[in-house]
Amino acid sequence: MAMIELRQFSAGYPGRDWTVRNVDLTIQPGETVGLIGPNGSGKTTLIRGICSRIPSSGICRLAGETPGSAKALAQTVSMIPQRTSILFSIPVLDVVLMGLNSRLPLLAQPSAAQRQAARDLLRQVGMDGREEQDFLTLSEGQKQLVILARALMQDTPVLLLDEPDSALDYNNKHLLLDTVRSLCGNRERTVLLTMHDVNLAMQYCTRLVLLKDGELCGDLRLAEADAESLSSALRQIYPGTHVIRAGGHWIMLKEEPSCANR
Protein backbone atom coordinates (compact mmCIF):
# COMPACT_ATOMS: atom_id res chain seq x y z
CA MET A 1 0.00 0.00 0.00
CA ALA A 2 1.34 3.43 -0.97
CA MET A 3 1.77 5.82 1.96
CA ILE A 4 1.36 8.94 -0.18
CA GLU A 5 -0.69 8.77 -3.37
CA LEU A 6 -1.50 11.87 -5.42
CA ARG A 7 -3.51 11.83 -8.65
CA GLN A 8 -4.07 15.02 -10.65
CA PHE A 9 -3.48 16.83 -7.38
CA SER A 10 -3.44 20.63 -7.35
CA ALA A 11 -3.02 23.01 -4.42
CA GLY A 12 -2.92 26.73 -3.82
CA TYR A 13 -4.28 29.69 -1.93
CA PRO A 14 -7.72 31.33 -1.93
CA GLY A 15 -8.32 33.85 -4.68
CA ARG A 16 -5.45 32.63 -6.87
CA ASP A 17 -4.86 30.05 -9.57
CA TRP A 18 -3.47 26.72 -8.38
CA THR A 19 0.21 27.12 -7.43
CA VAL A 20 0.92 23.39 -7.87
CA ARG A 21 -0.88 21.64 -10.71
CA ASN A 22 -1.82 18.12 -11.76
CA VAL A 23 0.71 16.24 -9.64
CA ASP A 24 0.83 12.45 -9.97
CA LEU A 25 3.05 10.95 -7.28
CA THR A 26 3.23 7.66 -5.39
CA ILE A 27 5.54 7.13 -2.40
CA GLN A 28 5.94 3.72 -0.78
CA PRO A 29 6.66 2.77 2.86
CA GLY A 30 10.28 3.30 3.85
CA GLU A 31 11.07 5.80 1.10
CA THR A 32 12.76 9.11 1.92
CA VAL A 33 11.90 11.46 -0.91
CA GLY A 34 13.51 14.85 -1.43
CA LEU A 35 11.30 17.45 -3.11
CA ILE A 36 13.69 19.70 -5.01
CA GLY A 37 13.07 22.95 -6.87
CA PRO A 38 14.01 26.62 -7.03
CA ASN A 39 12.35 29.31 -4.93
CA GLY A 40 8.71 29.77 -5.90
CA SER A 41 8.38 26.38 -7.57
CA GLY A 42 5.63 25.24 -5.18
CA LYS A 43 7.44 22.91 -2.78
CA THR A 44 5.91 24.30 0.41
CA THR A 45 2.52 24.62 -1.28
CA LEU A 46 2.55 20.93 -2.18
CA ILE A 47 3.49 19.91 1.38
CA ARG A 48 0.76 22.12 2.85
CA GLY A 49 -1.78 20.80 0.37
CA ILE A 50 -1.00 17.18 1.23
CA CYS A 51 -1.70 17.79 4.91
CA SER A 52 -4.91 19.75 4.19
CA ARG A 53 -3.64 23.13 5.41
CA ILE A 54 -4.60 24.91 2.18
CA PRO A 55 -7.23 24.29 -0.54
CA SER A 56 -6.58 21.47 -2.99
CA SER A 57 -8.25 19.39 -5.68
CA GLY A 58 -7.73 15.94 -7.11
CA ILE A 59 -6.95 12.75 -5.21
CA CYS A 60 -4.79 12.60 -2.09
CA ARG A 61 -4.54 9.36 -0.13
CA LEU A 62 -2.37 8.96 2.96
CA ALA A 63 -1.76 5.41 4.16
CA GLY A 64 -4.56 4.36 1.82
CA GLU A 65 -7.14 6.79 3.21
CA THR A 66 -8.47 10.17 2.16
CA PRO A 67 -7.58 12.69 4.91
CA GLY A 68 -10.44 13.06 7.38
CA SER A 69 -10.70 14.98 10.64
CA ALA A 70 -7.77 16.95 12.03
CA LYS A 71 -7.32 14.33 14.75
CA ALA A 72 -7.33 11.44 12.28
CA LEU A 73 -4.88 13.31 10.05
CA ALA A 74 -2.55 13.92 13.01
CA GLN A 75 -2.46 10.17 13.64
CA THR A 76 -1.29 9.57 10.06
CA VAL A 77 0.92 12.57 9.23
CA SER A 78 3.35 14.63 11.27
CA MET A 79 4.73 17.83 9.78
CA ILE A 80 7.76 19.98 10.51
CA PRO A 81 7.19 23.48 9.08
CA GLN A 82 9.93 25.94 8.16
CA ARG A 83 9.15 27.95 11.29
CA THR A 84 7.47 26.88 14.50
CA SER A 85 4.19 28.47 15.53
CA ILE A 86 4.96 28.21 19.26
CA LEU A 87 5.05 31.79 20.58
CA PHE A 88 4.54 31.18 24.32
CA SER A 89 6.85 30.03 27.10
CA ILE A 90 6.83 26.27 27.55
CA PRO A 91 9.42 23.73 28.71
CA VAL A 92 11.22 21.86 25.94
CA LEU A 93 10.00 18.48 27.23
CA ASP A 94 6.39 19.63 27.04
CA VAL A 95 6.86 20.64 23.41
CA VAL A 96 7.94 17.09 22.59
CA LEU A 97 4.99 15.68 24.55
CA MET A 98 2.65 17.71 22.32
CA GLY A 99 3.27 14.93 19.82
CA LEU A 100 0.87 12.81 21.89
CA ASN A 101 -2.06 15.24 21.63
CA SER A 102 -3.89 13.31 18.93
CA ARG A 103 -3.64 10.03 20.85
CA LEU A 104 -4.25 10.98 24.48
CA PRO A 105 -7.83 11.13 25.77
CA LEU A 106 -9.11 14.59 26.70
CA LEU A 107 -7.45 15.89 29.91
CA ALA A 108 -5.24 12.79 30.17
CA GLN A 109 -1.60 13.26 31.21
CA PRO A 110 1.40 11.52 29.61
CA SER A 111 2.56 8.42 31.45
CA ALA A 112 6.00 8.03 32.99
CA ALA A 113 6.96 5.79 30.06
CA GLN A 114 5.83 8.40 27.55
CA ARG A 115 7.79 11.13 29.34
CA GLN A 116 10.87 8.92 29.25
CA ALA A 117 10.33 8.29 25.54
CA ALA A 118 10.26 12.07 25.01
CA ARG A 119 13.55 12.43 26.92
CA ASP A 120 15.07 9.68 24.78
CA LEU A 121 14.05 11.51 21.60
CA LEU A 122 15.62 14.73 22.88
CA ARG A 123 18.82 12.81 23.48
CA GLN A 124 18.73 11.37 19.96
CA VAL A 125 18.45 14.86 18.43
CA GLY A 126 21.26 16.23 20.62
CA MET A 127 19.02 18.23 22.96
CA ASP A 128 19.37 16.21 26.17
CA GLY A 129 19.87 18.29 29.30
CA ARG A 130 17.46 20.97 28.05
CA GLU A 131 14.21 19.30 29.08
CA GLU A 132 13.18 22.11 31.46
CA GLN A 133 14.55 25.01 29.40
CA ASP A 134 12.05 27.53 28.02
CA PHE A 135 11.52 26.69 24.36
CA LEU A 136 11.51 30.40 23.43
CA THR A 137 15.09 30.83 24.66
CA LEU A 138 16.46 28.31 22.15
CA SER A 139 18.13 29.27 18.90
CA GLU A 140 16.12 28.72 15.72
CA GLY A 141 18.24 25.67 14.93
CA GLN A 142 17.69 24.20 18.40
CA LYS A 143 13.96 24.80 18.08
CA GLN A 144 13.98 22.85 14.82
CA LEU A 145 15.61 19.86 16.52
CA VAL A 146 12.98 19.93 19.29
CA ILE A 147 10.19 20.09 16.70
CA LEU A 148 11.74 17.04 15.02
CA ALA A 149 11.58 15.21 18.36
CA ARG A 150 7.92 16.24 18.68
CA ALA A 151 7.16 14.91 15.20
CA LEU A 152 8.85 11.61 16.01
CA MET A 153 6.90 11.45 19.29
CA GLN A 154 3.73 11.70 17.19
CA ASP A 155 4.76 8.32 15.74
CA THR A 156 2.95 8.57 12.42
CA PRO A 157 3.59 6.49 9.29
CA VAL A 158 4.09 9.65 7.18
CA LEU A 159 6.50 12.48 8.01
CA LEU A 160 6.49 15.75 6.04
CA LEU A 161 9.36 18.20 6.51
CA ASP A 162 9.51 21.66 4.93
CA GLU A 163 13.16 22.75 4.64
CA PRO A 164 13.99 21.19 8.03
CA ASP A 165 17.68 22.08 7.78
CA SER A 166 17.24 25.77 6.93
CA ALA A 167 18.23 27.13 10.38
CA LEU A 168 20.85 24.51 11.22
CA ASP A 169 24.63 24.64 11.19
CA TYR A 170 26.68 22.05 9.29
CA ASN A 171 26.85 19.46 12.09
CA ASN A 172 23.21 19.77 13.06
CA LYS A 173 22.06 19.50 9.43
CA HIS A 174 23.68 16.08 9.31
CA LEU A 175 22.42 15.18 12.80
CA LEU A 176 18.84 15.96 11.82
CA LEU A 177 18.98 14.10 8.51
CA ASP A 178 20.84 11.15 10.05
CA THR A 179 18.15 10.94 12.74
CA VAL A 180 15.35 11.06 10.19
CA ARG A 181 17.02 8.41 8.03
CA SER A 182 17.78 6.01 10.89
CA LEU A 183 14.58 6.34 12.93
CA CYS A 184 12.27 6.48 9.93
CA GLY A 185 14.04 3.91 7.75
CA ASN A 186 14.13 1.35 10.54
CA ARG A 187 10.37 1.65 11.08
CA GLU A 188 9.27 1.83 7.44
CA ARG A 189 8.07 5.40 7.83
CA THR A 190 7.60 7.41 4.67
CA VAL A 191 9.37 10.77 4.55
CA LEU A 192 8.78 13.63 2.11
CA LEU A 193 10.98 16.67 2.66
CA THR A 194 11.64 19.86 0.77
CA MET A 195 15.28 20.92 0.48
CA HIS A 196 17.42 23.53 -1.27
CA ASP A 197 20.72 21.73 -0.68
CA VAL A 198 20.75 19.21 -3.52
CA ASN A 199 23.95 17.57 -2.30
CA LEU A 200 22.44 16.84 1.12
CA ALA A 201 19.30 15.54 -0.58
CA MET A 202 21.32 13.16 -2.75
CA GLN A 203 23.20 11.94 0.32
CA TYR A 204 20.22 11.25 2.57
CA CYS A 205 17.24 10.58 0.28
CA THR A 206 16.40 7.44 -1.62
CA ARG A 207 14.63 9.42 -4.33
CA LEU A 208 14.42 12.94 -5.73
CA VAL A 209 11.25 14.50 -7.13
CA LEU A 210 11.84 17.70 -9.09
CA LEU A 211 9.39 20.59 -9.18
CA LYS A 212 9.48 23.55 -11.58
CA ASP A 213 6.85 26.26 -12.04
CA GLY A 214 4.30 24.26 -10.06
CA GLU A 215 4.64 21.02 -12.03
CA LEU A 216 6.68 17.86 -11.55
CA CYS A 217 9.51 17.64 -14.07
CA GLY A 218 11.56 14.69 -12.81
CA ASP A 219 11.54 11.61 -10.58
CA LEU A 220 14.88 9.94 -9.84
CA ARG A 221 15.65 6.86 -7.75
CA LEU A 222 19.19 7.46 -6.60
CA ALA A 223 20.15 3.78 -6.36
CA GLU A 224 19.41 3.42 -10.08
CA ALA A 225 20.72 6.79 -11.30
CA ASP A 226 24.01 7.63 -12.96
CA ALA A 227 25.86 10.92 -13.36
CA GLU A 228 24.42 11.56 -16.81
CA SER A 229 20.79 11.04 -15.83
CA LEU A 230 21.16 13.09 -12.64
CA SER A 231 22.92 15.92 -14.46
CA SER A 232 20.33 15.99 -17.24
CA ALA A 233 17.40 16.05 -14.83
CA LEU A 234 18.83 18.62 -12.44
CA ARG A 235 19.78 21.01 -15.25
CA GLN A 236 16.06 21.52 -15.83
CA ILE A 237 15.90 23.47 -12.59
CA TYR A 238 19.57 24.35 -12.04
CA PRO A 239 21.09 25.26 -15.44
CA GLY A 240 24.84 25.19 -15.76
CA THR A 241 25.40 22.34 -13.30
CA HIS A 242 26.62 18.77 -13.51
CA VAL A 243 26.80 15.82 -11.11
CA ILE A 244 29.85 13.73 -10.22
CA ARG A 245 30.46 10.78 -7.92
CA ALA A 246 33.01 11.40 -5.15
CA GLY A 247 33.60 9.85 -1.74
CA GLY A 248 30.69 7.49 -2.23
CA HIS A 249 28.21 10.35 -2.74
CA TRP A 250 26.66 12.24 -5.63
CA ILE A 251 27.74 15.89 -5.75
CA MET A 252 26.26 18.65 -7.90
CA LEU A 253 28.76 21.28 -9.06
CA LYS A 254 28.38 24.57 -10.86
CA GLU A 255 30.06 24.38 -14.24
CA GLU A 256 33.04 26.68 -14.73
CA PRO A 257 32.68 29.33 -17.45
CA SER A 258 34.65 28.45 -20.55
CA CYS A 259 37.91 30.29 -21.12
CA ALA A 260 36.32 32.03 -24.10
CA ASN A 261 33.70 33.59 -21.84
CA ARG A 262 36.14 34.85 -19.22
DSSP state of 205: -
Q: What is the pTM of this model?
A: 0.91
pLDDT for res 258:
62
Q: Are 12 and 30 within 8 A, CB to CB?
A: no
Tell me the longest C-alpha to C-alpha distance in the chain: 71
Domains of the chain: 4-76+156-261 (3.40.50.300), 86-154 (no CATH)
Q: Are 42 and 214 within 8 A, CB to CB?
A: yes
Q: What is the pLDDT of residues 123-145, one digit of tens each?
A: 999 999 999 999 999 998 999 99
DSSP three-state, residue 245: strand
The arrangement of strands across the sheet holding 20-27 comes to 20-27, 4-11, 56-62
pLDDT for res 261:
53
Residue type at 208 in one-letter notation? L
β 241-246/249-254 pair status: antiparallel
pLDDT for res 99:
96
Four-residue CA torsion sign, 56, 62, 67, 70: negative
Residues composing the chain: 262
Positions of the chain with pLDDT under 50: 259-260, 262
